[in-house]
Structure 1
Amino acid sequence: MNVNSYQPLSQKIPGTNQAKHLTMSLRTLMGECYSRMKLKERMIPESRVVEFSEVESEEECQRQITNNMRFIRLALKEHAIPITVVFNGSITKRKRCEEGSGGKLLRWRYPEFANTKKKCSKVPQLLQLLHILNERIKTKKNTTTVRDIYYGNIELFESQQMVEMLFQRIEAMFNVEKLFFNVVSTQKGLIYSGPRLQIGSQLFHAECQLVPYDQGEMIVQQNQQLKVIVLEKDAIFQQLIQCQEMIKDWIIVTGKGYPDHLSRELLHKLDLSLQGNVQFHIFTDSDPYGIDIVTKYMVKCPRLIHKGVLLNQLITRNTESNSMLVLLPLSLRDATFAMGLIRRLCKEEEEEEGSVRKHTMRQNLKYEVQRQLFFQRKGEMNVVNNGNVQQYFKWMYSRIH
């Protein structure tokens, strides 16, 4: 259809009160906009802004959520006007962010004028979660988990990771923690303590237990041989805790892959509670994702040191007696992730004025990823020393001492 054949909108809506205001034609708009993007921006209707901000009490939080939800319902249902939700949050490349007095401001528009479903789904997910939390504040319900909330509406939330991400937004939005709403993260990590360890009201001693919700005051039976060992894999954790004599002075933690909030908080509390001479060591797979897991733990526990499994350890111990050892090739996805990880580590080195230990640690992590890229190989810690975990750790700590 020829653009020149379009008539002004006022001629297409005769007899309406809006006719005198709608005199802009598509031809006029196209003449004023020099690009398709500009034309799209001009054709998107204006929205009403709904702002969430920091709260200091449950009553204030409840009042803010209730008032904003009422405002949103009127805008969408009664007046058919789009909304823009504004709140404090972290920057992502796909979000339009502004500097505000409270930090970074995120703007989520609904409905989103886009081609993908995901862009349109986050605001309904956020509003549903806010509605659930508001009801929890009103009724003073008992503590629940993120997992329970996810299974309450699987179709809307799509994944438990999505609920966790939305909670992070809400925590930044109101400047509170999940416990403010009587919600806790789902327990995922495991802990084993050789020496007697008391966290809050719970005692840990010579048995495997879930990382606790209640991470209050921490009391540890300390000695010169005390170590904190962090493991990426649950399988290695289960093998290592069978070596009772070797680990009698160790506290062992695993987040079963990427650590959850509770596991990272536990390391943080141990870091604060234990003496400065206590060693904190982490062991992961020799691949870019293992190094990335180390960086996640380091945020909460700066004195954590990456000890293995290193690629050169796998190569040097690749003997006839270790016939089970196989180094796998890095895939294109692995290599791309590794290069992005190196860029991030370099940027963090430049921006952060930390201790010499932290700077050295980041450099060592960067060198390990570069080594993996150079050899184009990666390896799993399950096969080190032909799968003999006890022998590997004995070898490691005989070298250290």
Structure 2
Amino acid sequence: MDNIENLVLSFLTQLVDGSTPPDTSENLSAQQRRAKSKIQLQLANRATGSSKTLTYPKKCPTGSARPLAQLLRVLDLAHEAIIEDMPMTKRDMFYNDVQLFKSQRTVDTLVDDLAATFDLDRSSLNIRASSKGLICGSGLTIHLISGETIQATDTEGALIPVGEDIDSFSLDEDVGWVLIVEKEAVFQTLCRLCITHHVDIPGRGLLITGKGYPDIATRHLVKTLSDCLPSEVPIAALVDADPYGLDILSVYNYGSKALQHENERLAAGGRIEWLGIWSSEFSKLGIDKDKLLPISKADEKKALAMLGRSKDILPSKWKKELVHMLFNRRKAEIEILATVNASEASCLLDHDQEKDINVDVDMRSSIATADMSDPGPGAMSMMMDTDSDDGDDQQLRQGKRGCWRSHEGPGMPVFLRAL
């Protein structure tokens, strides 16, 4: 609260000083008098890690008062939320003054700018984002500060609560894997299949989706699981084979530039393995090029921007996949795996050697994709083989390496029947 009041006090002080008639004894030019009457507020520049200045008045075709008014309105609402101890969502803020803010993005940006300026979490301002992420899997129980509990089930998704409402988590000892999927449609399909407690898959699992780019609550949960689960429990992600899918995975693993001041508590630190889809596998899997989608100008722009990132936040193997997408001018959604059958998946016998995916697997899981209307025998599955160990200790951050193998025959286990 002190931070908010000090920023407003700075504004008021400058306003009073600027409105005071200059001393006639001062020999000031017109330009100097205008400069003296300007109001300047310093905010954090989250893009560069430095600062930026909000100046009023200034030459602007749309008028320069609106940005300042928007900032003061957000400060007012945040101050009210703290005083009354009543949390407010960013969506609530927007609807408090739609005419002023014009768009939800304006509120989102200002709230995050203020949190970075004050070097605080957004929750310290009593402002939170609306939850949208879902979790499926009876192996997890979420205990809320209110005393209520959220018991996730194996048949449907439960809304992931915001971190400020969570007191603790309870995990069953037999939770053996975590899978993050980009899309809600795929998530809902896997829930209906009870994939997190399937008869053919040893150990319970947890299934998570952020419905595209994850919200804070979903990222916080994934970060908590990555910190608390034993290193032998694999955490994997299935995203579209396009730049945005890879960027979504990067947000989970390494954080986002927009919230870089909160990445320490939100990023999984590289624990999440990229399960697929890989652009370099299209031809090996026998996927018809006509079924692939052409990359758009937006895809190309996104890919080129991502290629400029350091290897600390975008591994070299990921960059190679982006280059492959740009070279072939093609992308694919997760659902395309439904067109792949077991005979075309033989190239995945040495999947771990080609991709260097590090997955500790005390459990044996299989992954199968098939058309929902007719699972049939023509589905692809990949089995993690715990007997495979190539002895490359530098690559085995989580223990033994998982070897992904194709698998055919009756009674084929199902992991991903999405699609």
Q: Same fold (TM over 0.5)?
A: yes
Matched letter for residue 300 of structure 2:
A
What residue number does 2:136 align with?
A: 192
Contact 1:192/1:204 (CA < 8 Å) preserved in 2? yes
Is 2:161 the counterpart of 1:212?
Answer: yes
What residue number does 1:296 align with?
A: 251
Structure 1 residue 142: Cα displacement: 1.9
1:62-211 equivalences under 5 Å are 63-71=5-13, 73-74=15-16, 81-92=37-48, 104-115=50-61, 121-138=66-83, 140-200=84-144, 201-206=149-154, 207-211=156-160
Q: Distance in 2 between matches of 1:252 and 1:218?
A: 16
The secondary structure found in structure 2 opposite 1:400 is strand
Matched letter for residue 257 of structure 1:
G
**Over residues 327-371 of structure 1, what are the superposed CA-to-partner deviations in whole Å (9 max), with x where a residue is unaligned?**
011223322221221112xxx22xx4xxxxx8xx71221111111
Higher relative contact order (CA 8 A, sep 6+): 2
1:15-94 equivalences under 5 Å are 58=1, 60-61=2-3, 63-71=5-13, 73-74=15-16, 81-92=37-48
Is 2:237 the counterpart of 1:269?
Answer: no
Matched letter for residue 113 of structure 1:
K
The secondary structure found in structure 2 opposite 1:216 is strand
What residue number does 1:222 align with?
A: 173
Matched letter for residue 180 of structure 1:
S
Query: How many residues matched?
Result: 315
Structure 1 residue 83: Cα displacement: 1.1
Q: Distance in 2 between matches of 1:238 and 1:324?
A: 28
Q: Distance in 2 between matches of 1:155 and 1:244?
A: 46
Residues 254, 85 of structure 1: CA spacing in aligned structure 2 closer, same or farther, 3 A cutoff? same
**Over residues 21-57 of structure 1, what are the superposed CA-to-partner deviations in whole Å (9 max), with x where a residue is unaligned?**
xxxxxxxxxxxxxxxxxxxxxxxxxxxxxxxxxxxxx
Contact 1:218/1:273 (CA < 8 Å) preserved in 2? no
Q: Distance in 1 between matches of 2:168 and 2:290?
A: 43
Bigger Rg, structure 1 or 2: 1
Q: Which has the higher helix share?
A: 1
- Cα RMSD of the aligned pairs, angstroms, is 3.0
Q: Distance in 1 between matches of 2:80 and 2:142?
A: 35
1:373 to 309, 326, 336: 326
What residue number does 1:30 align with?
A: none
Structure 1: gaps of 5 or more residues: 1-57, 93-102, 353-357
1:306 to 274, 297, 305: 274
Structure 1 residue 235: Cα displacement: 0.9
What residue number does 1:317 align with?
A: 285
What residue number does 1:37 align with?
A: none
What residue number does 1:46 align with?
A: none
What residue number does 1:280 align with?
A: 235
Q: Distance in 2 between matches of 1:188 and 1:198?
A: 16
What residue number does 1:254 align with?
A: 209
**Runs of 4+ residues deviating >6 angstroms:** 76-80
Residues 390, 235 of structure 1: CA spacing in aligned structure 2 closer, same or farther, 3 A cutoff? farther
Residues 239, 77 of structure 1: CA spacing in aligned structure 2 closer, same or farther, 3 A cutoff? farther
Q: Distance in 1 between matches of 2:9 and 2:234?
A: 51
**Over residues 215-260 of structure 1, what are the superposed CA-to-partner deviations in whole Å (9 max), with x where a residue is unaligned?**
332221132x611111111111111111115655221111111111
The secondary structure found in structure 1 opposite 2:206 is strand
| TM-score, length-scaled by structure 2 | 0.67
Contact 1:212/1:262 (CA < 8 Å) preserved in 2? yes
Q: Distance in 2 between matches of 1:307 and 1:77?
A: 62
| Identical-pair percentage | 25
Structure 1 residue 72: Cα displacement: 5.2
**Over residues 297-347 of structure 1, what are the superposed CA-to-partner deviations in whole Å (9 max), with x where a residue is unaligned?**
11211201111112244433346xxx8971011223322221221112xxx
Residues 77, 255 of structure 1: CA spacing in aligned structure 2 closer, same or farther, 3 A cutoff? farther
Q: Which moved more, 1:169-178 or 1:269-278?
A: 169-178
Q: Distance in 1 between matches of 2:191 and 2:57?
A: 52
Contact 1:240/1:390 (CA < 8 Å) preserved in 2? no
Residues 365, 333 of structure 1: CA spacing in aligned structure 2 closer, same or farther, 3 A cutoff? same
